[in-house]
Each structure stands twice: as C-alpha cells, then as structure tokens.
Amino acid sequence: MTVLDTKTLSGGGRAAAVRRRRKKLTFDRVSFFAVFLGLPLAIYLVFVISPFIQAFYYSMTDWSGFTASMNFTGFANYRKLFADEIFMKAMGNNVVLCLVLPVVTIALSLVLASMITVGGSSRGQVKGLKNSSFYRVVSFFPYVIPAIAIGIMWLQIYDPSNGLLNGALTSLGFGQFTSFRGWLGDEGTAMGATMFVIVWGFVGFYMVLFIAAIKGIPAELFEAARIDGAGRFRTAISLTIPLIRDNIQTAYIYMGILALDAFVYMAALNSGGGPNNSTLVMSQQLLSTAFTKGQFGYASAMGVVLAIVTLIFAALVFLVNRLTGGSKDNSDS
C-alpha cells in the first residue's frame, strides 16, 4: 500500500468520523428539532389535521350539533348530498365563480401592473405611466376595507330605490334604470353584479403583487425587447408573464380558494341566496343546514366536499402549470 493510499484511507476515516459525530444526537440537536419542527408540527396536527378528521367522522353520523348522542350512518349523508338539488345548485355557482373570478381578476391586475411599471413612453428609459404611485394607492384602497363593509356598501349602491348606481344612470338619461331592481333582484344579473364587487375588491391587491414581481425583472430585458421591435402586448406575453409565472400561479390559487368560499360577499349582498338560489354558494348552504336546521352531520359532509373540491382545484392549477412548462422555466431561470 502506497503512502498516497494510506493518506486517502486516513482521510476517509476522518471524514467518516466527522459524519458520525455530526449525526450523533446531542441535547442542542434534539432541542432544535423539538422546538422548530416538533412544536409546529404538533400545533398543525392539533388545530388543522384533527378538525378535518373530526369533520369527516361527524359527516358520517346524524349528529344534530346540540346533543351528545349521535348515530353512525356511513355514507348516507353523502348520498343525500349529491341528490340535493339546492346543494348541487350551490356547487355549480361555486364552480362558475372559480372559473370566472381568478381569470378576470388576474387579467385586469396584470394589465394595470404592466401599465404602471412598463407602460409609459416608448422612448428613453423603460418606465410606467405618470403618477403611477397615485394609481397604485387608489387601486389598492378597496383591499384594505373589510369584506363585510364592501358587501354592505355595494348593497346600498345597488339599492333599487335610493342606490347610487341607479341614480347615476338615471341622471345620465337612462330612464329605464329608475328603481331598476335587476342588479341583485334578477336571476340573470345577480351573479354578475356580485362577481363585479369581488373583482373590484381584489384587483388592486393583485396589481400590487404583480408590480413587485415585475420590478424584480431586470430593465435590460425590457429594453432588449423594445430594441427587437416587440410591442407592449408581445412583451407582456413573451417576457413579463413567463418571468412572473410563480406569482401568477400563487395568485390564481388564492383567488380560486376565495371563489370556492365567497361567503362574506354572498351573505352581505344576497343573504338568502339570491333569486332562485342564483348566488347561493356551498358555505352559505352549510351554515344554514348546521345552525338553522340543526343538521351538523349533514353540514359536515358539505364541508368535507368543499374541502375536497378546493384541494382538487389547487392540484389542477399545479398540474396545468407543470404541463405547460412552469417547472422547466423555473429551473432554467
């Protein structure tokens, strides 16, 4: 055995000894894992996972919510649930919200963010519109208002007798809007009017989120795109959106989760579910079933279905992002 081999073996032995010492459980190592991993995990299990398990168990009983006794009924609540026309109508409304709200809100936010950051003069340095800080503050202002306050405010604006909207349209010469009850009182317009309120409340927040993401893109890339002759739309599609893809994905998931709930806005604008249940959502039906009808087991089944639908939605967003090359783009960057 040569001297080199001996040194190599001794070096390898020392490395192995170091690894063994590193893997040895010490008080500092155990306490670190206990405090920074064990404690948060325990809190998560107790306050997040445990309620889900309890809700699933209650969904398989006939518990009324006000007595200690309950009978195990298996999947009877779920069979009843998918035969319930009102709940299926509420689920359909949630699906409509989930399909429309994220797309419209994020599209408007991206347009506004692009205008404020890189939508200025096409000559000289890449910059946004003049007074962009003012537009940013004004657009973000609705987000700082509590959701229930927004709902009540727009309920008054939509009021057919004394509402600001009908009054403004009537003063502009549209006499047909005098005491017009169609905004929230007609099945054909109630959902659209409600979605407008939600978009109005969130577009400013996501605009600020995208502004921060766009400002993280080097200005040289926008200047290079301008030199190559790319217009604003082409720059947004080929440069801006791919580089802030993760931010868009996160915004889409959060907006979709909001759309699958939307309880506060729906309860404030149409507490009864709207004409012919046109704006009724699953969370409203869950609350009514539990606290009005006293069917907590049945309401728990609704909550489980709502949770599953939310998880499926988030999984689909991640899957679509991966299939369209999101992970590849991220690894390349």
| DSSP characters over 68-108 | S---B-TTHHHHHHTT-HHHHHHHHHHHHHHHHHHHHHHHH
- Categorise residue 216: left if φ over 0, alpha if ψ from -120 to 50, beta otherwise: alpha
Are residues 274 and 280 in contact, defined by beta-carbon separation less than 8 angstroms?
yes
In angstroms, rounded to a whole number, what is the distance separating the alpha carbons of residues 201 and 34? 42
Q: State residue 60's pLDDT score.
A: 94
CA-wise closest residue to 150 among 186, 119, 196, 106: 196
pLDDT of residue 12: 55
Residue pair 249/325 in contact (Cβ under 8 Å)? The answer is no
Please indicate, yes or no, whether residues 117 and 263 belong to a single structural domain of this protein: yes
User: Which CA distances in Å does 302 have to 93, 179, 254, 273, 285?
Assistant: 15, 38, 21, 16, 8
Strand (E) or helix (H) holding 296: helix 296-323
Model pLDDT, residue 114: 86
Do 230 and 263 belong to one domain? yes
Rounded to 10°, the helix 190-215/245-261 angle is 150
Mean pLDDT of the region 282-293: 93
Whether residue 69 is contained in a domain is answered as: no
Work out the angle at residue 332's Cα, subtended by the Cα atoms of residues 330 and 333, and round it to the nearest 5 degrees.
Answer: 65
pLDDT above 80: residue 64: yes
Whether 17 and 144 map to the same domain: the answer is no
Distance CA 207, CA 109 (A): 4
Q: Can you give the length of the chain in residues?
A: 333
Q: Is 28's pLDDT higher than 80? A: no
Structure tokens at 109: 């936010």
Q: Is the pLDDT of residue 53 over 80?
A: yes
Across the range 259-287, mean pLDDT stands at 91
Q: How far apart are the first and last CA of the chain?
A: 48
Answer whether residue 20 shows pLDDT above 60: no
Residue 233 within any structural domain of the chain: yes
Q: Is position 65 within any domain?
A: no
**Encoded tokens for 304:** 């489980």
- Work out the average pLDDT over 181-206: 91
> What does the pLDDT read at residue 15?
58
Whole-number pLDDT of residue 128: 66
Residue 274 lies in a domain: yes
CA-nearest of 95, 96, 104 to 251 is 104
Same domain, 84 and 53: no
Domain that includes residue 53, residue range: 3-58
Locus of tokens 């340095």: 125
Q: Is the pLDDT of residue 191 over 60?
A: yes
- Tell me what the mean pLDDT of segment 205-233 comes to: 86
pLDDT average, residue stretch 86-91 = 94
Residue-level pLDDT at 153: 94
User: Are 82 and 41 contained in the same domain?
Assistant: no
CATH assignment of the domain containing 265: 1.10.3720.10
- Based on the structure, what is the number of domains in the chain? 2
Beta-carbon contacts of residue 189 (< 8 Å; ≥ 6 apart): 182, 183
What is the signed CA dihedral for 59, 62, 66, 70, rounded to 10 degrees?
-100
* pLDDT score for 136: 76
Assess if residue 63 is contained within a domain.
Answer: no
Is a pLDDT exceeding 50 seen at residue 7? no
pLDDT tier for residue 9 given thresholds of 50, 70 and 90: very low
Q: For 262-291, what is the mean pLDDT?
A: 92
Confidence of residue 91 (pLDDT cuts 50, 70, 90): very high
Residue given tokens 């009005």 in the structure block: 292
In a domain, 67, yes or no: no
Are 143 and 26 in the same domain?
A: no
Tell me: do 210 and 325 sit in the same domain.
Answer: yes
Confidence of residue 200 (pLDDT cuts 50, 70, 90): very high
Q: Does residue 178 surpass a pLDDT of 90?
A: no
Q: Is 311 helix (H, G, I), strand (E, B) or coil?
A: helix
Residue 164 shares a structural domain with residue 242: yes
Q: Where residue 331 falls among pLDDT bands split at 50, 70, 90? A: very low
Residue 190 parent element (H or E): helix 190-215
pTM surpassing 0.85? no
Contact in structure between 261 and 281 (CB atoms under 8 Å): yes
Is residue 154 in a domain?
A: yes
Does residue 129 form part of some domain? yes
More confident residue, 109 or 124: 109
Kindly state whether residues 49 and 81 are assigned to the same domain.
no
Is residue 43 domain-shared with residue 94, that is, in the same domain? no
Do 51 and 92 fall within a single domain? no
Indicate the average pLDDT of the chain: 84
Residue 273, helix vs strand vs coil: coil
